[in-house]
Structure 1
């Protein structure tokens, strides 16, 4: 599974990692980056002509990673400067298109937290392009609207809306609980809350390891971050729906309105 790793772990394993900086190119060039990191801006993979939801096509992804010198066997560490939410999307995209999750890592924190204590550089590494072989797995965590609807009636499952309070109040899937991804990160350290604190936040809205968790959102990065965090915390049965609520309603499926506790 994709893991969340400390800055110390990254520093100790720099030689064995392919570091990917998903910030804008001007940030990578002008503000510096982690030593050895390649630039793969978020906008290069956030949308694509193929795949499900907002995934790039297999050829687009293969070309992007090949240009960055990454192979299907590379041990990859991704980071951004926004608590990891954009980097998480890169890693989930890699997982959905067949990269071994055991070789995918998210920096606990972000560029700003790294920069406070560790070296950065403005020198871009020399990149030797590779051929990246996409091999999509037979099963993925992606589910369709029917699976989400079934989960709302399943006492052993919990449907989780990862949007903001106002969005949830305007309309959400019936029975879904609200969990803003930012509740799981520490603004001071810019990384994940301590394990017990994160589990407490999740339990407060009924998200516990014993239940199947089905996530949805209206932005791929937020749902991806929550997915990575849950898997890191040991949740074994996590799925997500990348369809929009507009598409949900177009299939004559209802939405509920009102905030939490209303």
Structure 2
């Protein structure tokens, strides 16, 4: 189990000089609204691609270029945040893990920029980091699972396939036997961060997701499952599959889909 996967603002503030902080919001938000002091801006659109290495990953060369320009080294501790409960920041962290960044050095700011802004200083001054030579590597244990793995899991009573989209999307069409867990059910609208651990355990248990189950995650394009994946990792789940292709690939390949009407 990795420690400090999801970290409070105080944790980040105390380590502002020793961690690399990444803001994945659009540039106009970073520059115009302000950002966490010392943060570099790597907008979500810059590391999101439909023609990368695996599904929606941007490609190794693109990733190396982005992190090198931001002055990030392969062994840096990274804290990522957005202003949308962490879902876009989580996608950044999962991408980093899939490209070989040590998982124990990847952290999600609990809450988001709005949560930080309530009690901590912000700035509009952009840093000018010295360029690094970031190189991707192979993860020690990749959470990626492919179409065939998910197809086989449809008949596996030991696995639970989790659809992290909204209820109306699930009702319109989902993988046979999947359970619906809207990623937003794991966050608190008031604090903007994760719900308390005991509440999270209850929400997850209600859909059959417990630490001893094999969990396979999907959504439409792997953004929303990134948040759920990070949350499960923070709770000590060690058998979580990340279906990068998600429903986009599934339907393109003719995978079976069922709806609530059926």
Give secondary structure in 2 for the equivalent of 1:207. coil
1:38 correspondence with 2:40? yes
Q: 1:160 aligns with which of 159, 162, 170?
A: 162
Residue segments in structure 1 that go unaligned for 5+ positions in a row: none
Note the C-alpha offset of 1:130: 0.7
1:21-55 deviations in whole A, cap 9, x for unaligned?
Answer: 00000000011110100111111001153211100
2:173, 2:194 → 1: CA distance? Answer: 28
Aligned counterpart, 1:19: 21
Note the C-alpha offset of 1:249: 3.7
TM-score (norm 2): 0.95
1:189-219 deviations in whole A, cap 9, x for unaligned?
Answer: 0000000101100001111111000001103
Aligned counterpart, 2:87: 85
Q: 2:234 aligns with which of 207, 232, 246?
A: 232
Aligned counterpart, 2:197: 195
Aligned counterpart, 1:60: 62
Residue segments in structure 2 that go unaligned for 5+ positions in a row: none
Aligned counterpart, 2:115: 113
Give secondary structure in 2 for the equivalent of 1:16. coil
Give secondary structure in 1 for the equivalent of 2:80. strand
2:120, 2:251 → 1: CA distance? Answer: 48
1:19, 1:248 → 2: CA distance? Answer: 35
Q: Describe how 1:97-108 pairs up with structure 2 within 5 A.
A: 97-108=99-110
Equivalent residues of 1:168, 1:257 under 8 A apart: yes
2:248, 2:196 → 1: CA distance? Answer: 36
1:67-122 deviations in whole A, cap 9, x for unaligned?
Answer: 00001011100000010000000000000000001110000011001101111111
Over the aligned positions, Cα root-mean-square deviation in angstroms equals 1.5
Structure 1 stretch displaced more, 139-148 or 62-71: 139-148
2:130, 2:146 → 1: CA distance? Answer: 39
1:68, 1:48 → 2: CA distance? Answer: 23
1:252, 1:129 → 2: CA distance? Answer: 45
- 1:14–1:246 Cα change, 3 Å: closer
Aligned counterpart, 1:9: 11
Equivalent residues of 1:48, 1:57 under 8 A apart: no
Aligned counterpart, 1:169: 171
Aligned counterpart, 1:141: 143
Number of equivalenced pairs: 260
Give secondary structure in 1 for the equivalent of 2:30. helix
Q: 1:150 aligns with which of 152, 157, 168?
A: 152
